[in-house]
């Protein structure tokens, strides 16, 4: 038996609670992992609260990532005791995920835990940090360097944004952080932000073309925010878009794309090929200051995950939430 957050739905209710489950209930997979740490992400919060159509089948153990040790394996790539981690692949949506003490998955979804990180540190980074690194790589592959100019990060106090600020600042970029929480200004400066901007100036409908300022941007918000970011990119600028916290719409024009030659680079972390995952995690070992993880991270127990999910959706959680599955 093991404990897990279980999401259930019927005609009368949608509920998520800690339950004791039998290993026989685990879904199919060739590797069983003893989960040491998971995290609480925006998508997990949607799954737990039912505020978004994230869960595709019920019952479901949410949790889009986890780190732990292999308990049994029929996959030749992994043996008992191997340290592994997982991000995405529909886990926590279509396949039972990491907010439990045991997970059974396809070995092809796993990657080895980098030796530079403990399981807790890997989940302090988590899918949010891995996604942030993919966004930084996207900017760099489009030729953006510290010499290109300032980089804007929206949703900067959240999981993706906070890791993005930390990585970009270590790489030598001047970072402007956008947040709707002025109280987090000092936190963002500690991560490396050179300037703090109020979210409201990006959230309302803006001009098709604004004053050129940003060489690049990482956006987790979408909607009017993404449109305004595009409108204010410098000639040849690049924005890596990976989120839709502000909405799925994109109320923009083609003007900045045509007149300024900007690039909108979509970043997916869920179905990313294995080599991209390995490269992102390799880069995190060298481009993220481990000392800043403590600033980013709050640890909770499995029993606290459901209550924290609602706070996350309300924008009341900063940085990363690591879930210790043993408590």
Token reading at 293: 């993880």
Render pLDDT for 253-303 as a digit per residue (tens, 0 to 9). 999 999 999 999 999 999 999 999 999 999 999 999 999 988 889 999 999
In terms of domains, do 91 and 138 share one? Answer: no
Asked whether residue 287 is assigned to any structural domain, the reply reads no
Instruction: Give percent above pLDDT 90 in the chain.
Output: 93
In terms of domains, do 133 and 259 share one? Answer: yes
In terms of domains, do 97 and 140 share one? Answer: no
- Residue 242 CA, chain-centre distance (Å), reads 9
Residues 131 and 168 sit within 8 Å (Cβ to Cβ): no
- For the chain, how many structural domains are there in total? 2
Instruction: Calculate ∠ Cα 166-236-277, nearest 5°.
Output: 45
Reported as half-sphere exposure (CB side, CA atoms, 13 A), residue 107 has a value of 15
In terms of domains, do 104 and 133 share one? Answer: no
Render pLDDT for 106-162 as a digit per residue (tens, 0 to 9). 999 999 999 999 999 999 999 999 999 999 999 999 999 999 999 999 999 999 999
Q: What is the mean pLDDT of the chain?
A: 96
In terms of domains, do 171 and 303 share one? Answer: no
Predicted local distance difference test score (pLDDT) of residue 281: 98
Q: Residue 290: which of 171, 82, 117 has the closest Cα?
A: 117
Instruction: Give percent above pLDDT 70 in the chain.
Output: 100
- Residue 310 gets which letter from DSSP? H
In terms of domains, do 6 and 91 share one? Answer: yes
Predicted local distance difference test score (pLDDT) of residue 309: 94
Render pLDDT for 65-91 as a digit per residue (tens, 0 to 9). 999 999 999 999 999 999 999 999 999
Asked whether residue 205 is assigned to any structural domain, the reply reads yes
User: Helix crossing, 159-170 with 274-287: angle to 10°?
Assistant: 60
Asked whether residue 276 is assigned to any structural domain, the reply reads no
- Residue 70 gets which letter from DSSP? E
Query: In a 10 Å sphere around its CB, with 0-12 CB exposed, 13-18 middle and 19+ buried, how is residue 57 labelled?
Result: exposed
Predicted local distance difference test score (pLDDT) of residue 26: 97
In terms of domains, do 252 and 304 share one? Answer: no
Q: What is the CATH number of the domain that holds 318?
A: 3.90.180.10
Token reading at 70: 């292999």
CA distance linking residue 22 with residue 26, whole number of Å:
8
Asked whether residue 271 is assigned to any structural domain, the reply reads no
In terms of domains, do 150 and 95 share one? Answer: no
CB within 8 Å of 231: residues ≥ 6 apart: 206, 207, 208, 209, 210, 252, 255, 256
Band (pLDDT 50/70/90 cuts) for residue 11 is: confident
Token reading at 232: 């204010």
Q: What is the CATH number of the domain that holds 140?
A: 3.40.50.720
Predicted local distance difference test score (pLDDT) of residue 24: 96
In terms of domains, do 95 and 220 share one? Answer: no
Asked whether residue 278 is assigned to any structural domain, the reply reads no
Q: What is the CA radius of gyration of the chain?
A: 20
**In which domain, by residue range, is 252 found?**
126-266
Asked whether residue 281 is assigned to any structural domain, the reply reads no
In terms of domains, do 171 and 68 share one? Answer: no
Asked whether residue 184 is assigned to any structural domain, the reply reads yes
In terms of domains, do 58 and 145 share one? Answer: no
Asked whether residue 289 is assigned to any structural domain, the reply reads no
In terms of domains, do 36 and 143 share one? Answer: no
């Amino acid at each position: 038996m093991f404990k897990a957050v279980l999401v259930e739905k019927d005609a009368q209710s949608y509920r998520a609670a800690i339950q004791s489950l039998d290993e026989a209930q685990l879904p199919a997979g060739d590797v069983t992992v003893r989960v040491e740490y998971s995290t609480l992400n925006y998508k997990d919060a949607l799954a737990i609260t039912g505020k978004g159509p994230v869960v595709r089948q019920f019952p479901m153990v949410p949790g889009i990532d986890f780190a732990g040790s292999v308990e049994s394996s029929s996959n030749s790539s992994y043996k008992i005791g191997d340290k592994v981690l997982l991000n995405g692949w529909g886990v926590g949506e279509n396949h039972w995920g990491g907010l439990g003490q045991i997970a059974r998955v396809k070995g092809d979804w796993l990657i080895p835990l980098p030796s530079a990180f403990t399981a807790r540190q890997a989940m302090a980074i988590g899918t949010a940090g891995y996604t942030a690194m993919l966004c930084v790589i996207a900017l760099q592959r489009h030729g953006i360097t510290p010499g290109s100019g300032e980089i804007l990060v929206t949703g900067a106090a959240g999981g993706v944004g906070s890791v993005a600020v930390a990585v970009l600042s270590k790489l030598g970029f001047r970072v402007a952080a956008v947040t709707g929480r002025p109280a987090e200004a000092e936190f963002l400066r500690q991560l490396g932000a050179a300037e703090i901007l109020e979210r409201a100036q990006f959230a309302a409908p803006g001009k098709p073309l604004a004053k050129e300022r940003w060489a690049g941007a990482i956006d987790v918000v979408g909607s009017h925010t993404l449109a305004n970011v595009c409108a204010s990119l410098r000639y040849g600028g690049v924005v890596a878009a990976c989120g839709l916290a502000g909405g799925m719409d994109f109320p923009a024009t083609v003007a900045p794309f045509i007149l300024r030659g900007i690039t909108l680079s979509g970043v997916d972390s869920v179905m990313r090929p294995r080599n991209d995952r390995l490269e992102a995690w390799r880069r995190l070992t060298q481009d993220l200051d481990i000392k800043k993880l403590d600033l980013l991270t709050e640890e909770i127990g499995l029993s606290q995950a459901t209550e924290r999910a609602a706070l996350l959706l309300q924008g009341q959680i900063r940085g990363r939430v690591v879930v210790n599955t043993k408590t």
